[in-house]
Chain A
Amino acid sequence: MDIAQRLNRATRRVPAWPVYLIGAAWAGWLFWLGVSGQLGPEPINALERRYGLVALQVLVAVLAVTPLRVWTGISLIKFRRALGVTAFGFVLAHFLVWAVLDLQSLARIGGEIVKRPYITIGFGAFLMLIPLAITSNNASIRKLGGAAWRRLHKLTYPAVLLGAIHFVWLVKGYPMEPFLYLGAVIFLLALRLVPKRKPVARTAPQATATAR
């Protein structure tokens, strides 16, 4: 049995629901760090950045699921919905910290979204993710039908790309980190354009619809 099969066999026994739990606990823990002064003397900005970064990291993981299966046979597809919804939770937390704790007024929020392109695209990405989060359940897949649901969830691609550009754009100077994320996102999206090998046979049939 090769490594992929062994991994797939092992993960089959792991449920996906702990992902939600870990995500929520992590977000809450970061918030508590901020409240208790453990994120430095400027916790609002620190929390904003931490939530945003975790969101981007989880979104990169979500984008990696399909190429991983196509190119290595390792299937983490059963965790993808949980990861996607968790990522959205962090995007929402990132947005709320920015809007409520940082800007503190509707006029400022509106002004910033209109005036600053990096915020405009970040907000755009957030809006794109909302319908995806809402339809991340079996009932929605049934209602929309698999094909329409998959088409809708292709919004993930522009949303994550905009999120990575948002990161590159907001930093001062040219630090490497945001470019690494942008590079990873572009790489994972580009992999989808490469003619695929025949997907390695999955060891377990999946109940949920999958989008590629």
Chain B
Amino acid sequence: MGFFLEVLIGGLLTGVLYSLVALGFVLIFKASGVFNFAQGAMVLMAGLALVQLIQPTYIGLWHFVGIGALVAAVAGLLVLRVLRGGTFAVVKGDWRVHLPMLVAVGAGLVGGLLALAGGAKGWPLWLAIPAAIAVMVAVAWVVERWVLRPLVNQEGIILFMATLGITFFIDGFSQTIFGSNVYPLNVGLSKDPVFLLESVFDGGILVNQLDISGAIIAGVLVAGLAVFFQKTRIGRALRAVADDHAAAQSVGIPLNWIWFIVWSVAGIVALVAAIVWGSKLGIQFSLTFLALKALPVLILGGFTSVPGAIVGGLLIGAGEKLAEVYFPALTKYVLGTAMPGGIEYWFAYVLALVFLLFRPQGLFGERIIERV
């Protein structure tokens, strides 16, 4: 019993990570109808940015300064935008036309200098995490401005192809800058195993502390997102856009702005996934293909459901671990010979296939409200 629970908990905690990646998918799919294959690459990007900022010795000083400048420029522009009540609009011919550009350049210079100063020992975590968020916001802005906006009103498959392009661009471009090493990420989460419920079971249940802190971080993130979506004006607008693009536009909700926000939020979710996953296994380029693991999660949970992404992730995480451990024993019992493992690699996909056959909308798929 203790062993079973151990496997189950281990699986569930892996599932948390799948959930985090799937969550990013769901957010973007709901708000813009885009199936964002690049979510895995965004996890990679976020992880690399964070690692580089914390431990700058990995890359050349000038790259680091460049990143610092970019981050600062984006932060400066965002601050400007917030201060101006969400608009860059200025009087024509006024010197203020150039204000955003001036702010960007100025902030970039300051950021570059800061990076130069901090380059020798890396940025502290409290500075590096907001900076990594700024990087993800910059990615969101670039994607919205240069990919989504020109492709507005195109078929879903075209947008999907575009995100495939983004995936491989991010993947390749990151290798160009950072090389293809595996970087350990240490944000101070303890990796020591602990024993739980020692009084109930003989020897207790062995759980990695990192997994537990990961689950807590993910839980906080999901709770935060729930509040954001339910209680804030922007969250409400996001839900409105998810429901009906045209109507949202008609009441003056600017779709471009909403897309930018939702990609930024997905970027932040990716950063959290990167922190948890990276602490466990290091930041490596195979993170890009986490997207493939999120696919069955989405099919299980439903493409448009946030709770679905979470439950789907947990189910698949737990299911594949249990199958991996117990399937050989089962085959031995039934067939007489134990089949080797490896079920972990295809379990999720077969489960997704079964779901596609019997419940294509997934567990929590769109509750379609239709009145005639």
User: Is B one of A's binding partners?
Assistant: no
